Structures are given as C-alpha cells and as structure tokens.
C-alpha cells in the first residue's frame, strides 16, 4: 500500500512548512536554528532505528560514525591548498572541479577542497570503517555487542581528543559552508530558512529510503532475523550479510548527519563523539518504539529540539538517562511500538509458555528487544 | 630500557592492573549470580572515593573509608531493588540499557551533589613526595597500599566463596539457580548480596587509588570498560583468571606509554577488548565449550 506508506511523509512535509510559516509570522525565526539541528540528529536516529528495531542489533557507537563523517568533511573543507600549489595531483583535482576558492577571515583568497569531495570522502571512509568494524561486531550478541560498539565509539572519541590536526579538545571551527549552486548549508543568518528546508528535505529523503527498505524483501528478511536468527537462517536468509548491510547503512545515516550538521554549525568538537551521545540516540529510538521509524523521527526531533533549546538545563544527560530507564522498565518495546495486529491477537489468546529450564536454568534471551 | 626504568614501568603496570582486576571481579560477582553485566560498575569506584573524600573532612581516614564502603554497598542494594529485582525474566538487551542508564544517573547525581572538580583522598601513609626505593626505581608507598589491598580483597573473596555458607550459596546460585532454590537457598537474596558485594569492593578500590589517580565524577566509564576488558580477557565469570588478565592489561598499558602518546593509551586497552571479543570471546584462560553454555 504505497499510498498509506507515503501519507505520513506528506504529513511531515506539511508540518515542516507550517512550522516555518508559524515561526516567521510570530517573529520567532530563531527556533529554526534548533529545528534544523534537531532534523539532522533525527537522521541519525532513523538509521539507528533500522539497526535496532529491524535488524535487532544494538549499537552504542553511532556518535563515532557521526564524528567520522563530520570530522572528515571538516578537515577537507577547511584545508588550505596553498603549500601544494602547482603539484600534479592538485592539477588533476582542479580539472575535476574538486578545488574551490574561498575567503578566509581576513579576506584573503585561498584554495580548498570542494565540499562534494569532502562528502564523498567522508561517506567512503565511514562505509569502510563500518565494514571493517561490522564484520566481526555483528557476530557478537547481547552484552558483547553492546560493549564492542561502545568500545569502538570510545576509541573514536579518544583519537579525536588526542589528535592535533583534528583540533584535540577544541575541535575544528570556521568550517566553510557546503555550497551546491544557489544553496549553501551554513550557519549564515540570512540562509536560516533555506537551511531549515534543506535539512528537512535530507531527512525526508532518508525516511523514504528507510521506508522503502523495510517494506522490501530486505525489510522482511530483517524482521525475520529480529524474530529469530536461527529460524531466519534455516529459511535461507543470509543473516550475517543483512545484519552487516544494515550496520553499514545506519553508520552512513549517522555520517550524513555529521557532515551536514558540521557545515551548518561551522565546526565540530569531540563532544559529538562521546559515549553519552550514542546512549542518547539509543534512548530516542527506545522512546520512539524500537520498530517505529516515524516514532523515532518524531521523538528524535522533539527531544533534541527541547535539549538544544536548553529546556533540561544542567540535567540534560540525566533526563535522557531517566527516559531510557523508564522506557526499559515499563515499556520495553517502546512507547510507540508497532506490534503487528495478528501477533497481538495471538498473544492475547495463548498464554506464553514458561521457557524450559536449560543447563544454567536461565532462559536464553531472544536475539533482540521488542520481539512480539 | 635500564633495569630501574623497567621496574618503574612494571610497578605502575601492576598497580593499575590490580585495580582493573578488582573492577573485573566486581563484574564477575554480579554476572555469576544474575547473568547481568553491570555497566555501572565503574561508578561504584568513583562514588566510593567521592563519599570517602567528603567524610574524611570530618572523620579519621579509616573510618571515612569504611563508611564510604558501607554507603556504596547500600547504593548497590538500592539499584537492585529499584531496577533489577522486579523485572522477572528480562532480555539481555533490556538489562544492558537499564544498567547503562543507571550508570549515567549515578554520574549525573555525583556531578550535582559534588561538582566537576578533581578531588583526592590524602595518602594513607606519608605524603605525595615520600617514596620507597626498590631496585633503583622510586615508588610511592600508596602503590604498596594498592597492591596490598588488592591482594587482601582477592584472597578474602576466594576464602569467602570457598569456606562460608553464604559464599557457597552464591556459588550454587551461579551454577544452577533453580537447583539452588530447590535446596532452600534464597536465590533472590543472593542477587542483592552480589550487588552489595561488588559495590563494596568497588568503593574500596576507588578509595585506595584515589590518592594516586585523583577522582572525578566522570571517571567511571573508562574504569568500567577496562574492567570489562579484563573480565573478558580472563574469561567472563572467572575471578582468578581476572587477576592475571588485569596484570596483563596493566603492564601492556604501562609499557605502551613508552611508545605512544598518553592520549591514545585508553584506545590501546579498548583495542585489546575488541580484539579479544572478535577472536577469543571465551578469554585467554577460558574454555570455549564452557563459554558456549553461557549467555551473553
């Protein structure tokens, strides 16, 4: 039912436009800044929702991928090619249109890499890292999977914090905007409305991609993995490949968000790579209902908007931790979880049998959370 | 590398290594009775040290540390009561997320009760400048305290698990909870006890290292991940192997300092964690078949 699938997309587009009109009419255009940033964080959450809700794998390292994307793009976009002027490789890049002129703070003109080169490089690097980490990681389960992805995120954080050309504790600032024709992703006040629409356009494109994915053969395969990995394997689903693919895809979602948000903010710092950021993304997916992309997007942009507006004050992290615990204690399949109707009816009729005692007399946990 | 340099690195390695071992034993105690990895384990060390620092301002040092250990044990029991006890048969993912949330809550609570300042307990004997000469290397007497306390904790725990009725009951629960319950062992109480025990030894470890490493509200996460690395390296659930694995990781870190910039040292031990998880999840001393029966 493609119409039913895309109707919410239309609804979100309408809300996006309506919000812009309202804030412009009421003279509160400043809200658009946080709404734009919240949109990009929402993109990370959509990617993580695919991984957690559909493939049933947790990742506590999404902030690491976000940082890889953002930092790669920031380093390349703010590079000064002056010292390598006239080298053959540079001329090749110039022919390709990968070198652009820009003005620095003092009005001097210098040559740097074009933003699209940074985008491509960041995505390639993220995909490569995700593949490299993903091949061993997706074989792990439960505690081990959580710790391994958390460990990966911490390594990225430590590397960013300890590396001079990534700005160490200060991060990278004065990153030039991302210009495509008349459009520029940057923090310039005059471009606030334009950037707001650009961000939500990117999010909606990401959402449509994710929706099509989960309603395809791949999506059905992922659901079967979530239900029972052994059963999926027995049905001929190549579980390892699907899990790896989703892991890489969710990393790319995070990287795209990282790239554009870095250009929008004009910089990136190590705080974007902390474990707390990763936990926060997990919390939002949990609140949204693990297997509910729309829930994830709505809660993701709402909670991030509130957090960015400083509503939670110095209790910011505590609020997210509290939300996470409350959801896991009282509604482990998420607030807005979408349990299929037939499964609900079946659950209501047949009482769940007690799991048989195993050797260690503990029930074997299902492959993931939220399975009906 | 001269002999004295070697001794210096070696001693600093086994000092941090023995602390990692204690964190790992804390993980193991809870894992053995419940099958849970308590991600808030590192917070127990910081919490214990923070409470002791505050109490030491009004009480003599030994009493302050004792009280800090007791209070942290109560916090451990409270965590079990509030978040774990009534869940029934939760999935692993749910517990992972809950304990991560708890660790953040404790961290944020510490930030608001104390602040983000770096604190430290006074040196147990002597001051920060007093030193003991050993094979040409100079070490702080606090290092001897750390090694001594770690050794006492490890020996006392193994005696507790072998000789006392309560310790044996806890081991019975970790072997087979249903059978233990059939023998009349209150399995639920053992879980609370295991939370208290690992909170207590965590707090003690936090107090002993506080003079050397200082204490800050956000140190828990990195201690926890290193303790977890050690627990995995030794084989999850095996506390004797955790001591050996702790020393291995501590020495590795200490000697890595002579090769790599300090900022990357944490990355080294996490890389060890990833390598062990990927290639030998049963641990260096673990048995592959035995670990296949465990849940993770």
Answer yes or no: is pLDDT of A363 > 70: no
CB atoms within 10 A of CB A229: 20
**What is residue A355's predicted lDDT score, i.e. its pLDDT?**
52
Chain A's closest residue to B270, CA to CA, is: A151
Give the rounded percent of residues in chain A with a pLDDT score beyond 90.
Answer: 30
Q: Distance (Å) from the C-alpha of residue B134 to the closest C-alpha of chain A?
A: 33
Report residue A97 as tokens. 């249109």
CB B212 within 8 Å of CB B263: no
What does pTM read for this prediction? 0.86
Find where tokens 């554009």 sit.
A260
Domain ranges of chain B: 10-119+139-293
Q: Contact B100/A154, CB-based, under 8 Å?
A: no
- Separation in Å, CA of A222 to nearest CA in chain B: 18
Task: Supply the pLDDT for residue A371.
Answer: 40
pLDDT at A71 over 90: yes
Please answer yes or no on whether A365 and B92 come within 8 Å at the CB atom. Answer: yes
Say whether A360 and B295 touch across the interface (CB within 8 A).
yes
Confidence at residue A93, expressed as pLDDT on a 0 to 100 scale: 75
Query: Could you name the CATH architecture of B10-119+139-293?
Result: Orthogonal Bundle (1.10)
Chain A residues with beta carbon closer than 8 angstroms to that of B177: 360-362
A286 in Cβ contact with A324 (< 8 Å) = yes
Residues B95-146 have pLDDT tens digits of 888 999 999 999 999 999 998 888 888 888 877 777 787 777 788 888 889 9
pLDDT at A111 (0 to 100): 75
* d(CA B98, nearest CA chain A) in Å: 5
pLDDT attached to residue A86: 66
Flag if A58 and B176 touch (Cβ within 8 Å).
no
DSSP string covering A202-266: HHHHHHHHHHHHHTSHHHHHHHHHHH-HHHHHHTT--HHHHHHHHHHHHHHHHHHHHHHHHHHHT
A127-144 mean pLDDT: 88
B170 Cα to chain A: minimum distance (Å): 14
Q: Taking 70 as the threshold, does the pLDDT of residue A348 lie above it?
A: no
Between chain A and chain B, the number of residue pairs with CB atoms below 8 A apart is 151
Chain center to CA of A110: 33
Check residues B34 and A39 and name the one with the higher pLDDT: A39
The rounded percent of chain A whose pLDDT value lies above 70 is 87
Residue-wise pLDDT tens digits, A55-67? 888 899 999 999 9
Min Cα separation A371/chain B (Å) = 10
Mean residue pLDDT of chain A comes to 83
Instruction: With CB atoms and an 8 Å threshold, state whether B277 touches A142.
Output: no
When CB atoms are compared, the residue of A147, A332, A364 closest to B228 is: A147
At A245-284, the pLDDT tens digits run 999 999 999 999 999 999 999 889 999 998 889 999 998 8
Q: Residue A174: its pLDDT value, please?
A: 82
Total domains, chain A: 1
In whole angstroms, what is the distance from residue B98 CA to residue B74 CA? Answer: 19
B277 contacts A162? CB cut-off 8 A: no
Alpha helices in chain A (DSSP H): 2-25, 31-49, 62-77, 88-95, 115-137, 142-162, 192-214, 217-227, 229-234, 239-265, 275-288, 293-308, 316-330, 341-349
> Taking CA atoms, what residue in B is nearest to A326?
B98
- Which domain, by its residues, includes A256? 2-349
Whether residues A279 and B104 touch (CB distance < 8 A) is answered with yes
Q: Give which of A133, A147, A148 to mutate to test B binding, by max B Cβ within 10 Å.
A: A147
CB contact under 8 A, A361 and B176: yes
Task: Give the separation between CA B197 and CA B250, rounded to whole angstroms.
Answer: 24
Q: Which stretches of chain B drop beneath a pLDDT of 50?
A: 293, 295-296
Dihedral, CA of residue A142, residue A148, residue A154 and residue A158, to nearest 10: 170
Q: pLDDT tens digit string along A43-52?
A: 999 999 999 8
């Amino acid at each position: 039912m493609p119409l039913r699938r895309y109707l919410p997309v239309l609804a979100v587009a309408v809300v996006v436009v309506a919000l812009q009109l309202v804030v412009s009419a009421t003279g509160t255009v400043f809200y658009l800044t946080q709404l734009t940033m919240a949109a990009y964080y929402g993109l990370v959450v959509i990617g993580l929702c695919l991984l957690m809700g559909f493939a049933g794998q947790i990742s506590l390292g999404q902030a690491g991928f976000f940082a890889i994307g953002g930092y790669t793009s920031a380093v390349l976009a703010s590079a000064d090619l002056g010292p390598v002027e006239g080298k053959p490789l540079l001329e090749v890049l110039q022919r390709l249109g990968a070198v652009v002129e820009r003005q620095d703070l003092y009005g001097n003109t210098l040559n740097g890499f074009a933003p699209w080169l940074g985008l491509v490089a960041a995505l390639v690097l993220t995909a490569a890292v995700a593949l490299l980490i993903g091949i061993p990681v997706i074989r792990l389960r439960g505690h081990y999977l959580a710790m391994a992805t958390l460990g990966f995120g911490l390594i990225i954080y430590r590397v960013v914090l300890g590396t001079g050309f990534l700005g160490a504790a200060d991060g990278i600032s004065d990153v030039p905007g991302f210009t495509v024709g008349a459009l520029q992703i940057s923090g310039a006040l005059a471009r606030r409305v334009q950037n707001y629409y650009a961000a939500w356009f990117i999010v909606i494109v990401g959402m449509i991609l994710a929706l099509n994915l989960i309603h395809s053969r791949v999506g059905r395969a992922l659901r079967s993995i979530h239900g029972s990995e052994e059963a999926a394997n027995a049905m001929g689903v190549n579980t390892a490949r699907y899990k790896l693919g989703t892991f890489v895809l969710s990393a790319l979602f995070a990287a795209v968000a990282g790239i554009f948000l870095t250009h929008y903010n004009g910089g990136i710092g190590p705080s974007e790579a902390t474990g707390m950021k990763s936990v926060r993304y997990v919390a939002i997916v949990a609140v949204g209902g693990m297997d509910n992309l729309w829930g994830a997007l709505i809660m993701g942009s709402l909670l991030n908007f509130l957090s960015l507006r400083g509503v939670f004050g110095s209790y910011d992290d505590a609020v997210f931790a509290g939300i996470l615990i409350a959801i896991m204690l009282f509604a482990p399949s998420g607030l807005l979880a979408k349990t299929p109707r037939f499964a609900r009816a079946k659950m209501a009729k047949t009482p769940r049998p007690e799991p048989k005692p195993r050797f260690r007399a503990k029930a074997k946990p299902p492959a993931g959370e939220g399975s009906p | 590398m001269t002999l004295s340099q070697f001794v210096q690195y070696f001693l600093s390695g086994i000092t941090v290594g023995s602390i990692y071992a204690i964190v790992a034993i804390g993980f193991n105690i809870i894992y053995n009775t419940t099958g849970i990895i308590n991600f808030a384990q590192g917070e127990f060390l910081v919490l214990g040290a923070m409470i002791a620092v505050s109490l030491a301002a009004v009480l003599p040092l030994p009493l302050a540390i004792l009280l800090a250990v007791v209070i942290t044990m109560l916090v451990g029991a409270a965590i079990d009561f509030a978040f774990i006890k009534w869940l029934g048969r939760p999935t692993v993912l749910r517990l992972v997320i809950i304990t991560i949330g708890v660790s953040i809550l404790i961290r944020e609570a510490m930030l608001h009760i104390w602040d983000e300042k770096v604190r430290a307990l006074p040196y147990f004997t002597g001051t920060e400048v007093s030193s003991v000469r050993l094979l040409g290397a100079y070490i702080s007497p606090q290092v001897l305290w750390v090694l001594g306390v770690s050794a006492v904790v490890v020996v006392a725990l193994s005696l507790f698990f072998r000789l006392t009725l309560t310790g044996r009951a806890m081991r019975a629960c970790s072997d087979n909870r249903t059978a233990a319950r059939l023998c009349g062992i209150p399995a639920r109480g053992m879980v609370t006890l295991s939370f208290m025990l690992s909170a207590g030894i965590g707090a003690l470890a936090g107090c002993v290292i506080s003079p050397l490493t200082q204490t800050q509200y956000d140190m828990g996460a990195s201690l926890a991940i290193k303790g977890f690395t050690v627990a995995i390296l030794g084989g999850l659930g095996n506390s004797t192997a955790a001591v050996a694995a702790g020393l291995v990781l501590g020495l590795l870190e200490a000697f890595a300092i002579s090769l790599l910039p300090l900022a990357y040292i944490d990355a080294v031990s996490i890389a060890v964690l990833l390598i062990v998880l990927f290639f030998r999840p049963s641990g260096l001393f673990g048995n592959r078949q035995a670990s296949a029966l465990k849940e993770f």
